[in-house]
Amino acid sequence: MTISREQNYIGVFDGKVGFGSRPALIVIDFTLAYTTPGAALFAEGVVRAVQDTIPLLAAARAAGVPVIHTRVEYHPSGADGGWFVRKVPTLRKMVAGEKLAQIDPHVAPLPEEVVLVKQYPSPFFGTPLAPMLAALKVDTLILAGCSTSGCVRAGALDGVQHGYRVIVPRECVGDRHDGPHDANLFDINAKYGDVVSRDEVITYLARLPANAA
């Protein structure tokens, strides 16, 4: 008898990490490269995720929790991208001055919000994210961004490996195709964190005590 994917994981990969008391929102690579029609990386799923992240951003800011953004940028030679840019050559276009490398204005950072520039999928790799979060005494990472199967998954994996509760609001992440998107949300929820609704996250943020940040 064939059992479903969900049934196969019951009792093995169905734990919950829950919310902590000191969250940070990490907005991963919501750049114009993914939201500009005709661009090589354009993805309708990311366009939807950007729009759905606007209320989440507002809730995080209202709660006074740290908001950290990331985007990708390379030296014109591509040397700092190593084998990653060789595997995905279109990334070589993400250089200083390239409009597509900039964050979509719908989710633009506020002046006081840090923007980390990275060269690889994980927001932790080669960036000061880990010491920033430690200094802020963060215990929970809320991950929004793209792509679900790439940088968001890498952030979830590194997040749990750095000792954080990982929360992914499903409406606030996007990918090029529903197949990889759905499969990676399932896998993140099974092994690395909790995939929940955006409204659940917004409710959690609204209930934080004033000194949570």
Active site (catalytic) residues: 151
CA 211/CA 21 separation, integer angstroms: 10
Strand 173-174 with 194-196, pairing = unpaired
The b/e string for 111-127 (b: 16+ C-beta within 10 A; e otherwise) is eebeebebbbbbbbeeb
d(CA 173, CA 28): 9
**Cα–Cα distance for residue pair 135/81, rounded to 1 Å:** 28
Gap between the Cα atoms of 138 and 91, Å rounded? 31
DSSP alpha helices (H): ranges in the chain?
A: 5-9, 32-35, 44-63, 82-87, 129-135, 153-161, 178-191, 198-206
Q: Which residues pair with 182 in a beta bridge?
A: none
